Structure 1
Amino acid sequence: MSSHPDFNAAEQASALPDLERFELRRFAAALGEAEFEHHAGPVELADVARLLEGNPKAVIFDRPSGAGDAAPFALCGNLAGSRSRLAAAFDTTSENLLQEVLKRLRRKASIHQVTREAAPVQQVVLTGDDCDFTRLPVHLQHGLDGAPYISSSIDFVIDKNTGWTNVGVRRLMLRGRRTAGIDLIAPSDLRAIYLEHANRGERLPIAFAVGTHPIDHVAATMRLPTDELELLASLRGAPLGVVKCVTNDLMVPADAQFILEGYLDENGHVEPEGPYGEFLGYYGGVKRNPLFHLTAITHRRDPVFQTSTISGRDMAYTDTAQLCALRTEVTVWRALEVAVREVKAVYASAANGGMFNIRVSLQQRVPGEARNAIAAVFACLANVKHVFVVDPDIDIFSDDQMDWALATRFQADRDLVLQDRMRAMPLDPSLAGSHHTAKAGFDLTLPFLRPGMNRSIEHRVPAAPVFDGARFESLQAALEHGPKLFAELMAAVGSRDGREVVRWLEDTGATRAITRDDEGRYLFA
């Protein structure tokens, strides 16, 4: 790991990172009852998926049990399955989550190598026959899945071309005590790294962390050209402690619950993997994929294993949809920063998997910026299909306000932007075999106004009256001063009723003409 300038064990011995600050149990324990569910008694592994599916809370099972489990490991799930829990992980609110992530991405944090004696994740080391997938609480997640899956594993490999550590999220399908299938079909850095090794007939050393803080999962979903250990440290906003694996030379988070060490064999995409409930809410079929060989399991003395919810009808409550949504927002924001002037907010709905439908709040400075924003979002991610751009007065986190904007500010023949034959995300079941997708942009902004212009009353949004106008000795003095709205007349004399204003208008109008202008203001003729 010489490519890391921070990797100097001698210099850093006196600057040891806090190896418990991002510990998984600590994060779970800090969640309130509204976010956290605890099962202290035995729960059979066959029941875990049912108890997690559609559950809005994070869950910990103290005793997930099965045949032959004398002392089962604890199991947690749904930890990243809500935006509020991701926000809690970053010590912020749901509305400010994206900005907090962007802020941390602009900062650099240090990486510190710690000794094996100091690393909590290597308190217990299992190799040989003791190294066994089937001793872990890995459960069947969906009815048609090909086998139990490890679904919450973060992978670490070295890209020899750059010397950087590549970090991602991959599932592992149990094939035996020390073998598992890995999904490497979709384009990714790990796929490219693996194919280079396989083409040379070489094994690829790899390690998987299981049981990590939600921030680490957010980092693992990002696609940025950097050493991704540094990315993980930046998002934590704190020094990252890493430790060298027992059976290979990879550096992994020293504070994880489990590390699964091993290698991807050189045989290529040859082993059947799947079916599996995918992150779009549908099954993926059987594919040919590489095989992972387990060489060691290391873990804390009292660890908690982790599972992620992936698929089903309740996508908004799954770990993957929430993580994908945040990753999508980061990518979209960065694209919009160079495409338009004043982006106010970006939101990717988790209900569709976190990547297909994007909402953008934008202050237009020149005509056409809403369409420029749509084009930029189309291009920045293959997965995006629908983009909704609104004015800043619309709360993009509100389904009700978005529905209202679509109904009242959109004309399909004028405001719909269509683009066909764009790169597709192959798992999208609506493609029906096509390799291309169509994308639609919805310009839900009001007509552009140049500086100094006011909107017509038909485009103004009603709100409760605020009686903060100027005070006058009488209603007559108020109207002699100039045209007044009814609320301004009430404010003029401190009325908290308004009916006496109606009576005055009627009585005065009988002897002196009172008219109204196009804005609805009262004035003496």
Structure 2
Amino acid sequence: MSNQPWDLRKVLDELKEIPDQYHETDVEVDPEAELSGVFRYIGAGGTVERPTKEGPAMMFNKIKGFPGARVSIGTMASRRRVGQILHSDWKTLGRHLKEAVENPVKPVKVSKNEAPVQEVVHLATDADFDIRKLIPAPTNTPDDAGPYITMGLVLGSDPEKTMSDVTIHRMVLEDKDTIGMYIMPGGRHIGAFQKMFEAKNEPMPVTINIGLDPAIYIGATFEPPTTPLGYNELWCAGALRQEPVQTVDGVAVNEVGLARAEYVIEAEILPNTTMQEDINTNTGYAMPEFPGYNGAANPAVNVLKVKAVTHRKDRPIMQTTIGPSEEHVSMAGIPTEASILELTDKAIPGHVLNVYNPPAGGGKLMTIMQVKKFSVNDEGIQRQAAILALSAFKELKTVILVDEDVDIFDMNDVVWTLNTRFQGDQDVIVIPGMRNHPLDPSERPEYDPKSIRVRGMSSKTILDGTYPYDMKEVFKRAPFMKVEDWEKYLK
């Protein structure tokens, strides 16, 4: 393994050594819809329109209109691959991330000559400056509002520089120095900081960091209560690598960027200013989002004015993803699993063995919980676990409970338990009128006028597929002989 600090290039070098996990092509591809359209067939997975499948991470070496730049997609579009990237068992990644949050390693600042991302500098004051010609940001579909930065890690601080944070937002390139950014209401710390600047009627300096070690992206998607205001998720990424993330002072704004990124966009969020997200297309759509549908264009996204773009000199890598792909599941789902485990381990220790947020819920809307009952007195503890999960993550909509003998990563096994250890009139628990995620198209008053008063409300559902402990003899699976050396028959 290379002794250089962790970054995207080091990860890709490792993947190249693992069969079937990486593929690159020199065939020219158009970043406008074609690139994502190609990867849809090869390896997007998730809830992307069929046909799709789990496949290798891809590098497109020849991007139409962007000589010298490359585009990477799908690095995390496989849970098994994420396990390889993080050098951890893919089935226990939730616990691995939980331990990282509990043992933070804070970033370190390096000098500009130690920051590869500042090898090339473009200032907005340059006569030919145009972010649309500098950043090979793809569109996912022909209906997109424009080229989108889908894996841009936004780093910002409060006005007094006492706290900083990183989050991922959808960002569309609107013109040569303007980006429209959707900050989802509530919960995001960048949004909280931005409101502080807005109260002072001052622009908020931020950096948008693109082309990163996947450990940074996965760590960055934690949300409260696991990482409360004041906890910078870069600390989690440092713990995952046992190596601090390197930052560097910006060249044009009073904020730091990630020194080993491929691109950094330095910008300011304008106070009390919004714009129509699809102002250039008027399609009514933004881009495909994680539930599997085209997201509606927002009439009033925040406006960022770009001050500079810096990048590596040697063929910089634009990193992108497809909204409803398996990659989103990895980035959003694994930290959610860690958050649920963190809460249940404290409240009901020993009972929740493992948690999985599957692609069917985009990593956010559904969780499968493997629960152990030790005696008849534990009956009901499984439903307590489900309520804890729903309280830990407000965007969670459906919880499926299974016993310890069920493989939570095999949907056939999960659905089997809902057919043989489940009765609809006994084992469905519905909690109406709760908050959820506004990108779920069913969460609107016209769909359910009884319990949904405003967009983004939902009924939460618990499906209890665990058997009653006092009937466990009835639910023993058919026993097969244990054969330790079975693999010899495949040689």
**TM-score between the two structures when normalised by the length of structure 2:** 0.84
Which of 128, 131, 142 lines up with 1:133 in the alignment?
A: 131
Where do 1:4-403 residues align within 5 Å? 20-31=4-15, 32-46=18-32, 47-54=34-41, 55=43, 56-66=55-65, 69=66, 71-127=67-123, 128-129=125-126, 131-135=129-133, 136-160=135-159, 163-187=162-186, 188-223=188-223, 224-225=227-228, 226-273=231-278, 275-287=286-298, 288-311=300-323, 315=324, 317-342=325-350, 343-365=352-374, 366-403=378-415
Q: What are the Cα deviations for residues 40-73 of structure 1, in whole angstroms up to 9, with x where unaligned?
A: 232232321111224222110111122xx4x331
| Equivalent pair of 1:155/1:170 in contact (CA under 8 Å) | yes
Q: Is the 8 A contact 2:397 2:436 kept in 1?
A: no
Label 1:162 to 1:391 Cα distance change in 2 as closer, same or farther (>3 A).
Answer: farther
Matched to 1:206, the amino acid is V
Alpha-carbon contact 2:103-2:236 (below 8 Å) kept: no
Aligned length: 438
The whole-number CA distance in structure 1 between the counterparts of 2:217 and 2:144 is 23
Mean CA deviation greater in 301-310 or 330-339: 301-310
- C-alpha distance in 2, partners of 1:351/1:21? 35
Q: Secondary structure at the match of 1:138?
A: coil
Larger Rg, first or second structure (1 or 2): 1
SS in 1 for 2:83: helix
Q: Is the 8 A contact 1:321 1:351 kept in 2?
A: no
Structure 1 residues 200, 170: CA separation in 2 closer, same or farther (over 3 Å shift)?
A: same
Amino acid at match of 1:29: D
Q: For 2:117, give the aligned amino acid.
A: V
Structure 1-normalised TM-score?
0.79
Identify the residue that residue 480 of structure 2 maps to in structure 1. Answer: 464
Greater mean deviation of Cα atoms: 223-232 or 208-217: 223-232
Whether the aligned pair in 1 keeps the contact of 2:88 and 2:96 (CA below 8 Å) is yes
Judge conservation of contact 2:206–2:255 (CA < 8 Å) in 1: yes
| Alpha carbons 2:329, 2:357 under 8 Å: kept | no
1:110-167 deviations in Å (ceiling 9; x for gaps): 4321110111111111113254312221222122111111111000001236711110
| Structure 1 residues 29 and 48: CA distance shift in structure 2, 3 A | same
3-state SS of paired residue (2:26): strand
Shift of 1:416: 1.7
Find the residue that maps to 2:267 and give its secondary structure.
strand
Q: Distance in 1 between matches of 2:316 and 2:24?
A: 13
Matched-pair contact (CA < 8 Å) for 1:131–1:297: no
Report the 3-state secondary structure (helix = DSSP H, G, I; strand = E; otherwise coil) of the residue aligned with 1:65: coil
Find the aligned partners of 2:309 and 2:152 in 1 and give their Cα distance.
13
- The answer to whether residue 468 in structure 2 is matched with residue 447 in structure 1 is yes
Contact preservation (8 Å) 1:390, 1:405:
yes
1:422 Cα deviation after fit: 1.1
Contact map agreement 2:399 2:462 (CA 8 A) in 1: yes
Residue 367 of structure 1: CA displacement? 2.0
CA contact (8 A) 2:395 2:437 kept: yes
In structure 2, how many angstroms separate the alpha carbons of the residues matched to 1:418 and 1:407? 19
Output the CA distance in 2 between the equivalents of 1:19 and 1:229: 21
Q: Which stretches in structure 2 are left out of the alignment for 5+ residues?
A: 44-54, 279-284, 446-451, 484-491
Partner SS state of residue 42, structure 1: coil
Q: Please give the per-residue CA displacement for 1:231-280, whole angstroms capped at 9, x wherever unaligned.
A: 33223321222111111221222111111101111233344355222221
Query: In the aligned structure 1, how far is the partner of 2:150 from the partner of 2:481?
Result: 53
Superimposed CA distance per residue, residues 442-466 of structure 1 (whole angstroms, 9 cap, x where no aligned partner)? 12112124xxxx943x322112246
Determine if contact 1:216/1:232 at 8 Å carries over to the other structure: yes
Contact kept? 2:68, 2:316, Cα under 8 Å: no
Provide the secondary structure at the position in 1 that maps to 2:389: helix
Structure 2 residue matching 1:256: 3-state secondary structure = coil
Distance 1:307 1:337 in 2: 35
- Taking the aligned partners of 1:289 and 1:246, their CA distance within structure 2 comes to 26
Structure 2 residue 421 is matched with structure 1 residue 409: yes
Unpaired runs of 5+ residues, structure 1, are 1-17, 468-525
1 or 2 for the larger relative contact order (CA 8 Å, sep ≥6)?
2
Corresponding residue SS for 2:264: strand
